[in-house]
């Protein structure tokens, strides 16, 4: 069942005010929440309803780090005895719905899920141009009934749209021993892309967050032959972004693109399913009668025809960045991790340039759709560092001469 479409203003920017606008219950009504964390920039938004707030603090705690689990337990204990305002700022969602039809978001989602009234808890971390607010939805009994991810900016809308496409593809072509959420609905509300998925299995357990995953993603079926990289639609989208910049940055990215075209011309690689953000905090494990299975969510960057091994390299890169490595150091760590997981030297040699090219394409997309994130030359700070590494590896530009 699709969400009803509408054309209207979408919320812009990110933060607590934006989420409260999304949760506006309608003219003349108000819903109270508890903003847990630093005043004005909380880490967690809870409904004021005591039973639902406690359930939100306790649900899926096996996915949290030990420190977060301890904080959630403490918050749950305080909220459970009615003292939530002692440790959290009371905030209010009020006013008319952002949707021009006047229908509040939570009412639309309740109709979609076929449930009674819904409450929402929202994790508030990572608020930037890429941020897609995720509402964890609960019924009156405090049971989780689903997730709603909302793309409020052009960049975030693209990500939500791609995630819905990928999740539907994966339900039609399920990978071996991989569990993905089912899409309940996808559409537009108040000009925002919205995808609604079923809850995660209750028995999921976290992976070690300090190490990149050592469990390669295996798509449905077995690849029987390699394909030309240039035939990949995923690679086509990377090339398209690299060719967009103008000015000084454009001259550099065009030189890199020319070198990549020479490097990749006629090259065949195994192409297949890619998650796009294969990191421990987007993965979990569960056990059933057939043994352990992976559970994977956040398919915003997913693709069906990316080079195999890309996820392994990217997972190494992101975890290294999380642990404090600079871009150049993290890209080196990424290749080391890739070699531990994939034993194909020629593939890893290609990924040494294809992976940073894909990172650069993401940063160029951010520059295009969120210009405030870019420097005067049109590159984001991370994009500039990735471009320098790519120039060195390809032997082009000033970095190659240095």
Please write the tens of the pLDDT for every residue from 186-244.
Answer: 999 999 999 999 999 888 998 888 777 777 665 554 444 689 999 999 999 999 999 98
Instruction: Classify 56 as helix, strand or coil.
Output: helix
In Å, what is the CA distance from 8 to each residue of 25, 191, 285, 315?
A: 17, 5, 40, 37
**Contact in structure between 191 and 144 (CB atoms under 8 Å):** no
Residues whose CB is less than 8 angstroms from the CB of residue 209 and which lie 6 or more positions away in sequence, other chains included: 65, 280, 281, 319
- Sort 15 into a burial class: Cβ within 10 Å, 0-12 / 13-18 / 19+: middle
Distance of alpha carbon 57 from alpha carbon 201, whole angstroms: 17
In Å, what is the CA distance from 6 to each residue of 10, 133, 232, 279?
A: 10, 19, 34, 35
Q: What is the pLDDT of residue 4?
A: 36
Domains in the chain: ranges and CATH: 16-196 (no CATH), 227-401 (3.90.1200)
C-alpha 370, offset from chain centre: 17
Please write the tens of the pLDDT for every residue from 338-359.
Answer: 988 888 899 999 999 999 999 9
Q: Is the pTM of this model over 0.85?
A: yes
Nearest to 342 by CA among 306, 307, 312: 312
Helix (H) or strand (E) holding 197, with range, is: strand 192-197
Residue indicated by tokens 């032997």: 395
- List, for the chain, all residue ranges whose pLDDT scores fall below the cut of 70: 1-14, 126-129, 216-225, 398-402
In Å, what is the CA distance from 117 to each residue of 13, 48, 57, 99, 277?
A: 28, 14, 19, 18, 33
């Amino acid at each position: 069942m699709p969400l009803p479409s509408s054309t209207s203003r979408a919320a812009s920017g990110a933060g607590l005010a934006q989420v409260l606008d999304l949760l506006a219950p309608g003219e003349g009504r108000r819903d109270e929440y508890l903003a847990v964390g630093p005043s004005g920039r909380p880490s967690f938004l809870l409904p004021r309803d005591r039973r639902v707030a406690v359930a939100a603090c306790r649900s899926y705690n096996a996915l949290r780090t030990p420190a977060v689990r301890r904080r959630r337990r403490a918050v749950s204990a305080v909220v459970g005895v009615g003292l939530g305002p002692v440790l959290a700022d009371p905030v209010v969602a009020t006013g008319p719905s952002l949707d021009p039809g006047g229908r509040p978001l939570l009412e639309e989602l309740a109709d979609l899920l076929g449930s009674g009234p819904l409450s929402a808890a929202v994790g508030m971390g990572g608020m930037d141009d890429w941020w897609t607010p995720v509402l964890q939805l609960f019924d009156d009994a405090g049971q989780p009934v689903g997730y709603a991810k909302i793309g409020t900016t052009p960049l975030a809308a693209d990500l939500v749209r791609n995630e819905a496409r990928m999740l539907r593809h994966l339900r039609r072509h399920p990978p071996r021993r991989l569990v993905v959420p089912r899409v309940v609905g996808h559409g537009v509300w108040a000009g925002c892309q919205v995808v609604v998925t079923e809850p995660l299995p209750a028995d999921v357990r976290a992976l070690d967050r300090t190490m990149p995953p050592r469990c390669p993603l295996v798509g449905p079926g077995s690849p029987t032959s390699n394909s030309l990289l240039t035939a990949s639609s995923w690679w086509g989208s990377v090339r398209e972004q690299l060719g967009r910049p103008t000015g000084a940055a454009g001259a550099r990215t065009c030189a890199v693109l020319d070198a990549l075209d020479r490097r990749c011309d006629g090259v065949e690689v195994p192409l297949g399913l890619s998650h796009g953000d294969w990191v421990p905090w987007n993965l979990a494990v569960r056990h059933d009668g057939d043994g352990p299975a992976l559970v994977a969510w956040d398919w915003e960057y997913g693709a069906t025809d990316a080079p195999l091994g890309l996820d392994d390299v990217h997972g190494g890169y992101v975890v290294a960045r999380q642990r404090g490595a600079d871009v150049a150091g993290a890209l080196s760590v990424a290749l080391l991790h890739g070699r531990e997981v994939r034993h194909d030297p020629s593939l890893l040699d290609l990924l040494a340039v294809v992976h940073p090219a894909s990172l650069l394409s993401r940063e160029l997309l951010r520059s295009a759709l969120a210009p405030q994130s870019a420097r005067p030359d049109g590159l984001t700070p991370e994009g500039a560092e990735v471009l320098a590494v790519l120039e060195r590896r390809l032997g082009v530009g000033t970095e190659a001469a240095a």
